[in-house]
Amino acid sequence: MAGKTCAIMQPTYLPWLGYFDLLDQVDVFVFLDDVKLEKQSWQVRNRIKSANKEQMLTIPALSVNGMNTMINVAKVDDRSNWRKKHVKTVEQSYAKAPFKEEIVSEYITMLSEQSNFLADITIAVTKGISDKLGIDTCMLKSSNLKESDRYKDDRIVEICTELDCSRYISPVGAKEYINRKQVGGAFADSNIELRYMNYTHPTYRQLGDSFVSYLSILDLLFNHGFSNSLDIIKNGRGPSFSYRDI
């Protein structure tokens, strides 16, 4: 079906609110999992709020080909018992949160993914949270699409074309690599409309004395539960805008 809207993002661990807003406003979402793993990135970690300070949850990832390990072939080091450690940290950090029991139970279920591949785990967690939020977007992995030697904006346009999508919504932060050759990148010479998401992080009731933004989705869920969180996420959404308007 022509006219579909697509977004493409690398799989990350327990993404922030804007990631889920992007998931919710497109028809097809592609996890870009056949690109290089960056161990000090959101691909393997995210932040929660413990009392009045931030705390990092990090998945120990194992390299397969040294610096050239792809996300989809990277494995996790379960010798460190990181899953139980993450659950314990989350339980302690949100001991007084109103939706603690509900979210801890679901978090444990999501982390029970039997695969020891990093992408399988992070994607399973993202899909599990999306399902609970009521997001029913079609989600695919780029490693399951046609093989390609293209990269960056050329690869994105190729994926959109393969999936018969006529519109692409991108985070504003991707503007630099999209515009590496020309304004609008490969989209300028295609029939695919490039638009940038317009998202302002919403504030919400949160544990602690001061509000901390850009945390993992877990913080919102512990404070407001699955049934209330999608509306809060959508509160930050503004109308997307054309790359020509920047």
H or E stretch at 91 = helix 82-93
Residue 65: predicted pLDDT? 67
H or E stretch at 176 = helix 175-178
Chain-centroid distance, C-alpha 55: 19
Question: Which of 190, 241, 192 shows the shortest CA–CA distance to 28?
Answer: 192
**Mean residue pLDDT across the chain:** 92
Domain boundaries defined on the chain = 4-231
**Token pair in block for residue 241:** 């805008």
As a whole number of angstroms, the distance between CA 246 and CA 241 comes to 8
Whole-model pTM?
0.94
- 204 with 218: CB under 8 angstroms? no
As a whole number of angstroms, the distance between CA 40 and CA 44 comes to 7
pLDDT class for 1, splitting at 50, 70, 90? very low
- Is the predicted pLDDT of residue 5 greater than 90, yes or no? yes
**Token pair in block for residue 55:** 């705390």
Residue 179: predicted pLDDT? 85
- Grouping H, G, I as helix, E, B as strand and the rest as coil, residue 48 is strand
pLDDT class for 215, splitting at 50, 70, 90? very high
Mean pLDDT of 133-144: 96
- Is the predicted pLDDT of residue 246 greater than 80, yes or no? no
As a whole number of angstroms, the distance between CA 92 and CA 76 comes to 24
Q: Is 103 exposed, middle or buried (0-12, 13-18, 19+ CB in 10 A)?
A: buried
- 138 with 165: CB under 8 angstroms? no
The one-letter amino acid code at 179 reads N
Give φ, ψ of 66 to 5 degrees: 65, -130
As a whole number of angstroms, the distance between CA 147 and CA 162 comes to 11
As a whole number of angstroms, the distance between CA 23 and CA 157 comes to 18
b/e per residue 207-231 (b: at least 16 CB within 10 A): beeeeeeebbbbbbbbbbebebbbe
- Sign of the CA dihedral with 226 first, then 227, 233, and 238 last: positive
